Amino acid sequence: MNKIDNRPLTVRSATKIYGAGPGRVHALQDVDLDIAPGEFVSIVGPSGCGKTTLLWSIAGLHHLSDGSINLGAEKIEKPHPSIGMMFQDANLLPWRSVRKNIEFPFEIRRKEPDANKIDELLNRVGIAGFSDKYPRELSGGMQQRASIVRALSSDPDVLLMDEPFGALDAFTRDEMNLLMEEIWAETKKTIILITHSIQEALFLSNKVYVMSARPGRIHKVFDVPFERPRPLKLMESAEFFDLVNVIKTEIQHRPTSNITAE
Amino acid sequence: MSDNKSDTIPSFGEAANNKGQRSVSSTGGLGGGLGIHSMAEVLAIIAVAVIIIGGAEVLLRVFEVPEFVMPTPSAIVTALVVHFDEIAPHLGHTLIELIVGYTIGASIGMLLAAFITQFPFVEKIITPYILLLVTTPMLALVPLLILNFGFGYTPRFIAVGLAAGPMVMINSATGFRRVDQGKIALARSYGASTFQIFTKIRIPMAMPMIIVGLMMGAIFAVITAIGAEMSGGGFGLGSKLTTFSSTLRTAEFFAVILILAIMGIMIYTFFSWLGKRLAGWES
Ligand SMILES: Nc1ncnc2c1ncn2[C@@H]1O[C@H](COP(=O)(O)OP(=O)(O)O)[C@@H](O)[C@H]1O
Ligand SMILES: [Mg+2]
């Protein structure tokens, strides 16, 4: 059903400095990532450590000050059709119905929307009956489901997600995590998720990158050992809990030592 | 940066904003007219109208108020029907002034708003002059315009355009300034061009305020057209107001006022409907 993509996503020495002079912000310093096709990775780290900057650069929405990002042999310097992005909150356009929101990418690319694929996805995420509703008529969870359909309907190989479920209540969030885990298993897309929930990162990913701040760097990488498919119960297990604590300690301790080092 | 910008157009933009927001959203509830929801409301509205109009009719008759002081509602309606042939051509003149002046003024206002908001520096320089045009009653210019352009349509087109244009512009600009970087980034992530971002993100986001501007511009246009007609030229509803009042034809005078009131309600209803159609998502 989905084409197999075998292009790795590579980030090399990504460095980003906003502005110039005394007010400049050193957001990223020499970030390297090697993400295999079909891998699900998460990035966690203190707020302001450059997670969004990194993801927007991969999406081709920011220019790096130095370094490079590649999808296979292609250098990413502007938005790429094989890379889809899901934003913080659902970021639906309030003046468009759910269906019109989903068709928006096709409209921008002047392509005929793939109605079958869209219907199939709407069904898959459980909002088939809501396609004529407007965003304000939907709950936060439903809006995120619509946003998932929008991101997947053009079948990107790489899906970038910037704290997509941050604004949802815990219960809805669990539901969305389960849905993402299933969708990833079904589609085998390369997914990069930014989150401030370590639980979410561990539940969903194969690898968790921990970033540190000022300047933003990759501080540590954790391989996630849990078998798939992962049930929600996993989050109550002792191994899971221990790993959460290990990562939490890394996030909490690193920034202070980093600031004194500067 | 954008904070700065909203500071340069201080209270007015805000006031207009709030006022507009309210009228557009109250329109959201308008069942295509005046916010009517249920049979009970319709009955209540009719009852109040009957009491006020009937009460005026009865009181004016009981106290035998002379017609040249204040005609009864029935006398006003009768005057409108009987003298419609005399009034109708002037209604036509007024409509021509409104349509031509407003179309030109509102179009320029909208285009200017769309243009200058893309260039913060240009906007900073131009906005004070637009504010000056908004706050100066264009009626004050009419005698000078008549001096320069004669007693024909021209000075009235100019006055109406100058009254509507800046009003449309200042409100539309407030709309175009409401940039949502997240939504623009969304469009960009799919490879949208600057033009696509403008038509598919910026214009829809600005639409509620554009409609507010169009409605306020239309109301200012009517006020200015009538005022300009009263200043001379001998044609248009405003000139009839002058003639009817100076010749003590008070019932006819109020018949013209009635036409203007109906025009006002139609303008409001139209823009309410438009707001609901094009900007109903906000509210
Ligand atoms: N457009 C920008 N201009 C200047 N500084 C920015 C901009 N975007 C982000 N920053 C700064 O860069 C740093 C990293 O920001 P961000 O990537 O949003 O971090 P995170 O997503 O991890 O919270 C922060 O200090 C932030 O203030
Ligand atoms: Mg962020």
Could you give the domains of chain A?
A: 1-82+159-262 (3.40.50.300), 89-155 (no CATH)
* Region B256-262 average pLDDT: 96
Q: Considering only CB atoms, which chain A residues are within 8 Å of B200? A: 104, 107-108
The residues with which A11 forms a beta bridge, in sequence order, are: A33, A69
Among B93, B71, B92, B99, smallest CA distance to B244 is for B71
Taking residue B105's Cβ as centre, other Cβ atoms within 10 Å add up to 28
- Write the residue in B190, B192, B281 that is nearest to A94 by C-beta: B281
Token output for A87: 């934003």
**Which residue in this structure is represented by tokens 């246009």?**
B221
pLDDT band of residue A54 (cuts 50, 70, 90) is very high
- Chosen for mutation from A78, A88, A95, A97 (greatest number of chain B CBs closer than 10 Å) is A95
* Region A91-101 average pLDDT: 95
Among A107, A56, A108, A64, smallest CA distance to A83 is for A56
With residue B213 as reference, give the H or E element that holds it. Answer: helix B203-230
Task: Give pLDDT, residue A4.
Answer: 58
Please give the model's pTM, rounded to 2 decimal places: 0.82
Taking residue B121's Cβ as centre, other Cβ atoms within 10 Å add up to 8
Token output for A45: 């780290």
Contact A105 B190 (CB under 8 A): yes
* Region A142-167 average pLDDT: 93
Supply φ then ψ for residue A143, to 5 degrees: -60, -40
Q: Is the CB of A52 under 6 A from ligand 1?
A: yes
| Sequence-distant (≥ 6) Cβ neighbours of residue B225 within 8 angstroms | B94, B97, B98, B101, B156, B159, B160, B236, B238
Contact A60 B200 (CB under 8 A): no
Among B125, B24, B72, smallest CA distance to B254 is for B72
According to DSSP, residue A230 is labeled P
Terminal CA-to-CA distance of chain B, rounded, Å? 28
Domain B72-282 is in which class? mainly alpha
Torsion sign over Cα A195, A198, A199, A202: positive
| Orientation of helix B142-149 relative to helix B203-230, angle to 10° | 70
Q: Considering only CB atoms, which chain A residues are within 8 Å of B279? A: 95
Q: Is the CB of A53 under 6 A from ligand 1?
A: yes
Mutate to test the pocket of ligand 1, among A28, A52, A88, A162 (most ligand atoms within 8 A of CB): A52
* Region A102-119 average pLDDT: 94
Contact A91 B188 (CB under 8 A): no
CB B73 within 8 A of CB B255: no
Contact B204 A93 (CB under 8 A): yes
Q: Tens of pLDDT along B21-74?
A: 333 333 333 334 556 678 888 999 999 999 999 999 999 999 999 988 999 999
Q: Which residues neighbour ligand 2 (ion) by CB within 5 Å?
A: A 52
Q: What percent of chain B has pLDDT over 90?
A: 71
Torsion sign over Cα B84, B86, B89, B93: negative
Strands A40-44 and A207-212, how do they pair?
Answer: parallel
Task: Give pLDDT, residue B7.
Answer: 35
* Region A93-116 average pLDDT: 95
Task: Give pLDDT, residue B95.
Answer: 97
Q: Tens of pLDDT along B116-137?
A: 998 989 989 988 998 898 888 8
Question: What's the rounded Cα separation, in Å, for the pair B37 and B35?
Answer: 6
* Region A204-217 average pLDDT: 92
Q: Is the CB of A50 under 6 A from ligand 1?
A: yes
* Region A244-255 average pLDDT: 82
Largest separation between any pair of C-alpha atoms in chain B: 75
CB A4 within 8 A of CB A157: no
Alpha helices in A70-139 (DSSP H): 98-108, 115-125
Identify which has the larger pLDDT, B1 or A193.
A193
CA of A49 to the centre of ligand 1 (A): 7
- Write the residue in A60, A95, A105 that is nearest to B204 by C-beta: A95
**Which residue in this structure is represented by tokens 């260039």?**
B119
Taking residue A238's Cβ as centre, other Cβ atoms within 10 Å add up to 7
With residue A40 as reference, give the H or E element that holds it. Answer: strand A40-44
- Write the residue in A87, A88, A109 that is nearest to B191 by C-beta: A109
**Alpha-carbon distance A260 to nearest alpha carbon in chain B (angstroms):** 33
Strands A25-35 and A74-75, how do they pair?
Answer: unpaired
Token output for A56: 């927007």
Residue nearest to atom 6 of ligand 1 (CA): A18
**Average pLDDT over all residues of chain B:** 86
Question: What's the rounded Cα separation, in Å, for the pair A211 and A114?
Answer: 38
CB B206 within 8 A of CB B176: yes
Domain ranges of chain B: 35-64, 72-282
**Which residue in this structure is represented by tokens 């029907």?**
B81
Judged against a pLDDT cut of 70, whether residue B170 lies above it is answered with yes
Task: Give pLDDT, residue B10.
Answer: 33
pLDDT band of residue A3 (cuts 50, 70, 90) is low
CA dihedral B6, B7, B11, B14 (to 10 degrees): 20
| Sequence-distant (≥ 6) Cβ neighbours of residue A208 within 8 angstroms | A41, A42, A43, A44, A198, A201, A202, A221, A222, A224, A247
CB B5 within 8 A of CB B120: yes
The residues with which A193 forms a beta bridge, in sequence order, are: A42, A161
Question: What's the rounded Cα separation, in Å, for the pair B186 and B112?
Answer: 26
In B, minimum Cα distance to A154 occurs at B190
Q: Is the CB of A17 under 6 A from ligand 1?
A: no
Q: How many residues does chain A have?
A: 262
According to DSSP, residue B191 is labeled T
Contact B281 A136 (CB under 8 A): yes
Task: Give pLDDT, residue B190.
Answer: 95
**Average pLDDT over all residues of chain A:** 90
Question: What's the rounded Cα separation, in Å, for the pair B231 and B238?
Answer: 8
Token output for A185: 């298993």
Contact A79 B187 (CB under 8 A): no
Q: What percent of chain A has pLDDT over 90?
A: 77
> Residue A33, SS3?
strand
Q: Is the CB of A48 under 6 A from ligand 1?
A: yes
Question: What's the rounded Cα separation, in Å, for the pair B45 and B43?
Answer: 5
Judged against a pLDDT cut of 60, whether residue B94 lies above it is answered with yes
Question: Which amino acid makes up residue B191?
Answer: G
**Alpha-carbon distance B110 to nearest alpha carbon in chain A (angstroms):** 20
